[in-house]
């Protein structure tokens, strides 16, 4: 046990780099957005300001939005203007909305008071090629030192995964939705 502790201590001591991380939460299972919000809570608890840009306008009014409103100016929350228009299939409108959200993301990335930026469902916008992948990955890589960025959404692009420091894939072992259970307040929204 003592030997193991010595090995562990040496391993911890060998890690000396401090940096703002590019984090990607992807995969088919539940927990991508909520894990990002967990980091928001952690950062807020450490006195940092948090920015959140939602690239897909939620169909629902979410509990987290109400909860984070209690933090006032310490949370900058931006929901994409129009949201995706799946029903009308208005691609031009979707692209314009994505660009607007991305412009907001760039603005928050440049704001030195923000310590953590969550780009919720950015992967979806990239998957549909509504934003230029190289430009997005380039801007994320050129982020301010010290700024942590979390990107969520299924089907993360390989170039983003390559650029990231931390990538977690949520696996779908079991989801109540398949058993006919509808979205539950406080769990899904």
**Binding site residues, ligand ATP, CB under 6 A:** 28-34, 152, 154, 170, 172, 175, 177, 183, 188
Nearest alpha carbon to residue 139 among 162, 109, 96:
109
User: Of these partners, Mg ion, ligand ATP, none, which one is at the site of residue 29 (CB under 5 to 8 Å by kind)?
Assistant: ligand ATP
Give the Cα separation of 134 and 54 in Å (integer).
20
Give the Cα separation of 79 and 97 in Å (integer).
10
Give the Cα separation of 23 and 1 in Å (integer).
33
If the CB atoms of residues 8 and 155 are measured against ligand ATP, the closer one turns out to be 155
Least separation, in Å, of the C-beta of 70 and ligand ATP?
A: 19
User: Of these partners, Mg ion, ligand ATP, none, which one is at the site of residue 175 (CB under 5 to 8 Å by kind)?
Assistant: ligand ATP
Opening angle at CA 100, ends 96 and 102, nearest 5? 115
Whether residue 152 contacts residue 36, with contact meaning beta carbons closer than 8 Å, is answered with yes
List of residues contacting Mg ion (CB under 5 A): 32-33
If the CB atoms of residues 42 and 175 are measured against ligand ATP, the closer one turns out to be 175
Least separation, in Å, of the C-beta of 17 and ligand ATP?
A: 29
If the CB atoms of residues 37 and 75 are measured against Mg ion, the closer one turns out to be 37
If the CB atoms of residues 114 and 152 are measured against Mg ion, the closer one turns out to be 152
Structure tokens at 60: 């629902």
Least separation, in Å, of the C-beta of 131 and Mg ion?
A: 17
User: Of these partners, ligand ATP, Mg ion, none, which one is at the site of residue 183 (CB under 5 to 8 Å by kind)?
Assistant: ligand ATP
Say which residue the tokens 């088919």 belong to: 28
Give the Cα separation of 114 and 101 in Å (integer).
17
Least separation, in Å, of the C-beta of 9 and Mg ion?
A: 38
DSSP code at position 155: S
Least separation, in Å, of the C-beta of 33 and Mg ion?
A: 3
């Amino acid at each position: 046990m003592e030997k193991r502790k010595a090995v562990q201590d040496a391993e911890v001591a060998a890690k000396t780099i401090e940096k703002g991380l590019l984090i990607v939460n992807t995969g088919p299972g539940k927990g991508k957005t909520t894990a990002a919000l967990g980091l928001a809570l952690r950062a807020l608890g450490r006195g940092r300001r948090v920015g959140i840009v939602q690239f897909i306008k939620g169909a629902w009014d979410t509990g987290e939005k109400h909860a984070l409103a209690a933090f006032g100016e310490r949370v900058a929350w931006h929901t994409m203007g129009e949201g995706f228009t799946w029903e009308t299939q208005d691609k031009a409108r979707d692209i314009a909305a994505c660009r607007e959200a991305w412009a907001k993301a760039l603005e928050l990335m440049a704001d030195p008071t923000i310590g953590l930026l969550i780009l919720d469902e950015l992967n979806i916008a990239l998957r549909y090629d509504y934003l230029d992948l190289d430009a997005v990955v380039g801007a994320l890589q050129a982020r301010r030192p010290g700024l942590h960025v979390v990107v969520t959404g299924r089907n993360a692009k390989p170039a983003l995964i390559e650029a990231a420091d931390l990538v977690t894939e949520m696996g779908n072992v079991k989801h109540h939705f398949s058993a006919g259970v509808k979205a539950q307040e406080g769990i899904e929204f």
